[in-house]
Amino acid sequence: MPGPFTLQQIAQRLGGRVVGESGILIRQVGSLERATREQITFLSSSKLKAKLAETRASAVILAPGNEKLTGLPRIVADNPYAYFARVSQLFNPVITQSGIHPSAVIAPSAKLGRNVSLGAGCVVGENVVIGDDSCLYPRVVLYPGCTIGARVVIHAGAVIGADGFGLAPENGRWVKIPQIGGVRIGDDVEIGANTTIDRGALDDTVIEEGVKLDNQVQVGHNVRIGAHSAVAGCVGIAGSARIGRHVTIGGAAMIHGHIEIADHVHVSAGTLISRSLTKPGTYTGIYPFDEHDAWKRNAARLRRLAKEKKNA
């Protein structure tokens, strides 16, 4: 484990302003409730000042407006949560596997960049391209024709480039539509365990740079997710949805296909988005379940109330 570092050394590396004893030694990070001596914690909200008063941490990271809430040695930073994340990275650097496991299967036409790591049981299909410094954990499958950027991390069990759900009805049966597009994933993307990203039907499915996908996310064919968006676990995104940049989608939300979501939209957990969202903001659609007919009646009443309020 790296370190220890003094508060001053941390600030020299990451910025921020030290208040109090700058030479105090820090060996690890911790939560407000459970941090101990030689650990540093953070305060994200003044609502937690009672917990701050009880913490046993040796130092704390907080915002300028909360600087006087404690007499502990502290680092003052504009975004304490993000600063804490970087401090945690400093003490706990990600240790990825190295090299290519003997059980990995790599097609002869695949192209691997420098310092690519492939875990046990990985499968890399024909004409796949993987950028420099990318890491695939065990049992990741890349179907033919996928392109993976640099510094991409794909966790165990993810499947990239399986066929999209393309079916045409004919005389009571389903006719499969060949999925001839690919998947293109940008630089610095992280994809969680058992997440699936389908290949495009005609054009590619695209995940732009810096996107973070949690575990068990389903991305349908021809979806495009804009740069630096983040999608929490168990989200389903149906085919041909277009999601903007810097969008966040809470856990178990569902996104209909063939709709567009603007940049800087935040979708609450469990929300169903069934139409395009054309302006930034937070959208929430959580509503208690009920018998179906009762649910429809109550939903209709709520819509009328919203219209009446708007027209008042």
DSSP 3-state of 181: coil
Contact 88, 29 (CB under 8 A): yes
DSSP string, 222-285: T-EE-TT-EE-TT-EE-TT-EE-TT-EE-TT-EE-TT-EE-TTEEEPTT-EE-S-B-S-EEE--
Q: Are 124 and 148 in contact (CB under 8 A)?
A: no
Instruction: Give alpha helix (H) positions in the chain.
Output: 7-14, 49-54, 80-91, 292-311
Q: Residue 265: what residue type?
A: V
Q: Is 221 a catalytic residue?
A: yes
Q: What is the rounded distance in angstroms from the CA atom of residue 209 to the CA atom of residue 212? A: 9
240: phi > 0 → left, psi -120 to 50 → alpha, else beta; which?
A: left
In whole angstroms, give the CA distance from residue 131 to residue 28: 33
Dist CA 258 CA 270 (whole Å): 20
As a whole number of angstroms, the distance between CA 155 and CA 172 comes to: 39
Based on C-alpha coordinates, what's the Rg of the chain?
24
Q: Tokens 């168990």 appear where?
A: 234
101, 155, 221, 256: the catalytic one is 221
| Catalytic center residues | 221
